[in-house]
Amino acid sequence: MKLLDSYVFLERLRELIYELLEYRDRVKEDGGEIIPIRRGTPLVKYGFISMLKGGVIMDVTNEKQAEIAEDAGAVGVMVLDKLPYDVRMAGGVARTADLNVIASVMNSITIPVSAKCRIGHTEEARLLEEIGVDLIDESEVLTSC
């Protein structure tokens, strides 16, 4: 399979996934029953990574930046409280972005949305999972002392 064919295949796969998600939402709104989705299967893990392969995941702090990133061809965005440069300049540690900001970004773009939570802060991760981010990055932004 040529690279271009792979890209076309992945784009079509992405479109189908979003169509299925939209269908699921319509069924829920109409009061229909939804079959539980298995999470964390190898198919899901490898499929999601394949969608991001070969692209750029942009750091954003608001929905306007997310829209610009999507228009510029980013394959995903990482919603941050502050950009790494701003964290270094403030001499601090980055926190999880405001959940309202993350939700507004998710509603404004169609590409996958990621968000960070601090290492070991499982409640932050659960909140991010609850609002439906596509990927949770559990990490710390290291800054100089």
pLDDT along the chain (145 residues), means of 10: 67 84 86 67 68 83 93 90 79 81 93 88 89 85 51
pLDDT confidence of residue 36: 64
Q: Which residues pair with 109 in a beta bridge?
A: none
Catalytic residue among 28, 45, 64, 116: 116
Q: Among 51, 58, 42, which residue's Cα sits nearest to residue 18?
A: 51
Residue 58 near residue 78, CB atoms below 8 Å: yes
Active site residue 2: no
Residue 113 near residue 120, CB atoms below 8 Å: no
Element (H, E) at 137: strand 135-138
Q: Any idea what DSSP says for residue 77?
A: E
Helices then strands, counting H and E runs in the chain, come out as: 6, 4
Residue with tokens 């001499």: 91
Please provide residue 40's backbone torsions phi and psi, each rounded to the nearest 5 degrees: 80, 15
Strands (DSSP E) along 87-134, which ranges? 113-117
Amino acid identity of 48?
Answer: F
pLDDT confidence of residue 101: 94
Is the CA virtual torsion 37, 77, 82, 63 positive or negative? negative
pLDDT confidence of residue 145: 46
Question: What is the C-alpha radius of gyration for the chain, rounded to an integer number of angstroms?
Answer: 17
